[in-house]
Structure formats: C-alpha cells, structure tokens
Amino acid sequence: MRHSHVRILGIALATVAALAATDVQALVTFDAPHAGTVEYAGTFPAAISSRGAIAGWYRDAATQVHPFVRDAAGVITEFEVPGLRNAYVTGMNESGKIVGYGLDARSKERGWVRDARGRFTILTAPGAASITQPYAINDTGIIAGIYVDGHDASHGFVRDAAGQYVTVDAPGAGQGEGQGTTVLAIDASGAVAGSSVDRDFAVHGFVRDAAGAFTVFDPVDAGVTFATAMSPSGLVGGSYYPTGSNSVAHAYLRDEAGTIDDFDVPGFTIADTAAVNDAGTVAGSCFATGQSWNAFRRSSTGRVQVLAMPAGTTQSAATGINAGGTITGYQTDADGVSHGFVY
C-alpha cells in the first residue's frame, strides 16, 4: 500500500510538472503544399473556426498569392478564385464560407466569397471605382468590408445573404482622398466595427448596430483609434495611439456596454489586436524598437503572454482566435520564410 501511494504520488507529480512545462498548450506549425521556400514566401493563416478549420493564403516561389483552407484534421486544400489572381483570404464563418479579395484582368481589386462546396461569387460593391475588399463574414452569411470610390475615399459596406449592399459611412467621416470609413469586423447580429478618418484626418473607432445606429468612440487620451476585431457577441478589440505619440500603441477590449479596458504587453511598446472571442480572450501582435513582432494572447482574466515559437523564429503574428481560445497565425524563420501555426 505504501509503495502504491508513493508510485501514484510520483506519477501525479510528474504529470503536474509536465503540464507546467508546456503550460497546457501545444504549438503546431504547417505549410501549404505549394508555399514557396524563398524569402517573403510561405503560409499565412487568416481565420480559424471553432472546429479548428483554418483559412488563409500562401505565397509561392514566384511571390504569387493563392488561398487555402486547412480542415480540423490538418488536410490542406489549395484553390484559385475564378477570374482573379493574387487572391487573399480575410475571413471565414463556422459553416466554412470564406471571403477575401484579388485582382481582376484590369488589376482592379474585387471581393469574393467561397462556400463550403467550393462555389464562388465575385463581389463588387456599388460605388466602388477600383477596390472592393470584404474582411469578415458572420454565420448568417452577412459580409462586411470596404470599398474605395472615384475620389479615393473609403466607405464601409454590409452585404446581406441575399446579395443586397448597404453603404456604411460613420458620422463625421471625410469624403476626400485618404478619408472615409473602414469596416473590418462583424458580429452574429450583423453589427459591424471599424474606424473612420474625418476631414481633419483624425481617426476614431465606431460600432454600427444591425439597425444602422452608430456609436463613435475613443479611449481616454487617444489620438488615433483603430477598431479591428469583433466577437460574435459584440466585444470589440482594437488599438490606439495616445495623443501626440506615433511610437506607443495600447490594445483595448470594449464590451457591449461601451466600457473600454486597455492593456499593454510587458516589455513592448506597441500592441496590435487581431482577434477576440466571446470569452474576452484577445490575440494579436506586439512590437518594441530594436525587437521584432511577436504574437501574444491576453486571457479573459487579463493574463498577457507572448507565444513561444520554434527556435530561429525572427517574427510572429497572431491573426485569428476561435471560441475555445485556439489561436492561429504565422511565424517567420531565419531565411525569411513564413509558416502557419496553431497554438
């Protein structure tokens, strides 16, 4: 009995030690089959579903861009978008619909959506002169993104599942070159989040609810505010630069009531939010002068950690997070080649 207890205790302590050493996390790297192995080439995930499917793009040896989807078992399917080249992936929903944009025969940027069966629809927002870029799609098939008009001003758009477009212009957004509205994220209800540039080129964050009502916001002491991510329940993630600074940026999480919780990554001067889930876990990248970009995670309890990467990594970035807290992104090796990861 005594020896049995000692053996059980030893096993338990060994298990605890092993879990502590790995922090109950695992990193898996992967590459699209035809991703290039030269500098600036590689594999770049963009979004991850709750089942673990990942959508992204890869750059081949000739630096041409192609989309891919990786299923939960790790099987990667590369594909091309009919009529478009250099097709980037920007978002995916739980049913496997993927959105992105690419160049047509006249080198105009057009959006696209691919359903889970591999069927494509090419997207051009009404009023777009040369650029239509979808950035997010929710589980009901509503797509959000931006387009650029003939005056080089940006406008947000929302496209419903029936293909009807609504232009999104935030209050006070300028209509001149380099001004306007950018929509980057959408929640389950159809509310969207993004940033606007006014006539004085000041940048503000905003949320537009499903009924079309806007809330423009800035964290305290913000000189520039970016809203870049949204969870299905409406949590908004972003970053802001304090007034008068262009070298320090704080990340933030804004809840449905409008309360803003800002935070930093210890040891870094810039924190850039890429994705957030309903638990309030944030994924993003951080930077400091003299250092490279590093992927990070902030838990719902406020714990911030830089994600450990393979030896020889020169930089890393987190690009997506799912409901369970699994993060995807990419890391770049010493040869300048990027590889996808699941964390």
Distance CA 218, CA 235 (A): 15
Dihedral of alpha carbons 108, 274, 54, 339, sign:
positive
Q: Please count the helices (runs of H) and the strands (runs of E) in the chain.
A: 1, 28
Say what the pTM is: 0.91
In angstroms, the Cα distances linking 235 to 117, 187, 238 are: 31, 8, 10
On whether the CB atoms of residues 318 and 304 are closer than 8 A, the answer is: no
Per-residue model confidence (pLDDT) at position 303: 97
Residue whose structure tokens are 């304090």: 242
Distance CA 91, CA 159 (A): 14
Measured in whole angstroms, the distance separating CA 137 from the mean position of its chain's CA atoms is: 12
Distance CA 115, CA 100 (A): 12
Q: Cβ neighbours of residue 103 under 8 Å, at least 6 residues apart?
A: 84, 85, 86, 109, 110
Q: What are the average pLDDT values for consecutive 10-residue runs of the chain, which has 343 residues?
A: 33 34 70 98 98 98 97 97 98 98 97 97 97 98 98 97 97 97 98 98 98 97 97 98 93 97 97 98 95 96 96 97 98 98 97
Distance CA 315, CA 273 (A): 16
Q: Cβ neighbours of residue 40 under 8 Å, at least 6 residues apart?
A: 59, 63, 336
Measured in whole angstroms, the distance separating CA 1 from the mean position of its chain's CA atoms is: 55
Distance CA 60, CA 38 (A): 8
* CA dihedral of residues 88, 91, 96, 97 (deg, nearest 10): -70
Please check whether the domain covering 25-342 is classified as CATH 2.130.10.10: yes
On whether the CB atoms of residues 204 and 214 are closer than 8 A, the answer is: no
On whether the CB atoms of residues 235 and 278 are closer than 8 A, the answer is: yes
Q: Provide the residue ranges of all domains of the chain, joining segments of one domain with +.
A: 25-342
